[in-house]
Amino acid sequence: MAVIVTIGVCIRNNEATLPEVINSIIDQDFPHELIEVIFVDDGSEDSSSSIVKSYAIAMDMSVKVFHHEWMGLGPSRNIVLDNTSGHYIIWVDGDMMLRKDHVRRQVEFMEAHPEIGIAGGKRGIFPAGSLIADLENVSFMVYDSDKDISDKRLPGTGGTIFRVSALKQIGGFDPAIRGVGEDLDAAYRIKAARWMVGKSDAVFFERGRQTWQGLWRQYLWHGYGLRRLYRRNSSLFSIAKMTPIAAFFVGLLRMPNAYRMVRRRSVILLPFHFAFKMMAWCFGFANGKLSDVGLE
């Protein structure tokens, strides 16, 4: 039988979380003969590569494994696209888990909506996560609770399904984007090519950063990386909406729904959580702007 969906797993130094990622793929209830898994190891310096090889031998799905020196996310995702046999690609990060019906729900959603080029999934609470990780996941859960199948935002790649024909139409991911933002850029170009962006009810779990320091470093990196992308296309996002003050009020607005969903008093910290990570983002973005001065 022909492969319908490819699961693209781009990893780098994920030895601590990779087994649970792969096991969640193995546990999918979608027919395994219709699934292909493509691993791209982007220059890992730990045991990620050997973990992938040990699992690949035993998996009852079609598996392809690629390993190269560090190239970055844009080139790594294009390796998946260039070698896919499926009609769709579901992207799985090295710190994620899929609910066992994730692939089935994503494929069924795309089959039912041929006008949609990309469909994000819905974030769940990662088991045994820290307070910081739970706040991050809850913030996304509130947004995802909207039952409208169209998505007003541009989803990232984690847990998201891309129609291969839409990706190929835009020429794939930008290989010049080696840090963050390759997903935002591709989603924007797919939407500009008149594909719809959707949102299904397929659930995934992302481990996320476990400490405030880790969260700060993540968003500092995101802000820095997205500065270069913003220079190329300022319509991708609004700087005003990324400020700590704006983020604080977004957290306030999401707090009541967050409590109704999870019944945890810790959601009272959401406004501060939003402001904290956007402060890091702004620092990273400002540093990226300063580093661009010599490039103008």
- Phi/psi of residue 241, each to 5°? -80, -10
Query: Look-up: residue for tokens 């835009």?
Result: 170
Distance CA 13, CA 49 (A): 9
Reported confidence tier of residue 296, pLDDT bands at 50, 70, 90: very low
* Extents of the domains making up the chain: 1-127+146-207, 211-291
CB atoms within 10 A of CB 239: 11
Reported confidence tier of residue 289, pLDDT bands at 50, 70, 90: low
- The reported pLDDT for the residue numbered 235 is 82
Which fold, 1-127+146-207? Spore Coat Polysaccharide Biosynthesis Protein SpsA; Chain A (3.90.550)
- The reported pLDDT for the residue numbered 293 is 40
Reported confidence tier of residue 295, pLDDT bands at 50, 70, 90: very low
**How many residues make up the chain in this entry?**
296
Q: Is it the case that residue 227 has pLDDT exceeding 80? A: yes
Q: Tell me if 155 sits within 8 A of 187, measured CB to CB.
A: yes
Distance CA 256, CA 251 (A): 10
- The reported pLDDT for the residue numbered 150 is 58
Q: Is it the case that residue 207 has pLDDT exceeding 80? A: yes
The per-residue pLDDT for range 175-206, each reduced to its tens digit, is 988 888 899 999 999 999 999 999 999 999 98
Mean pLDDT value across residues 82-102 = 96
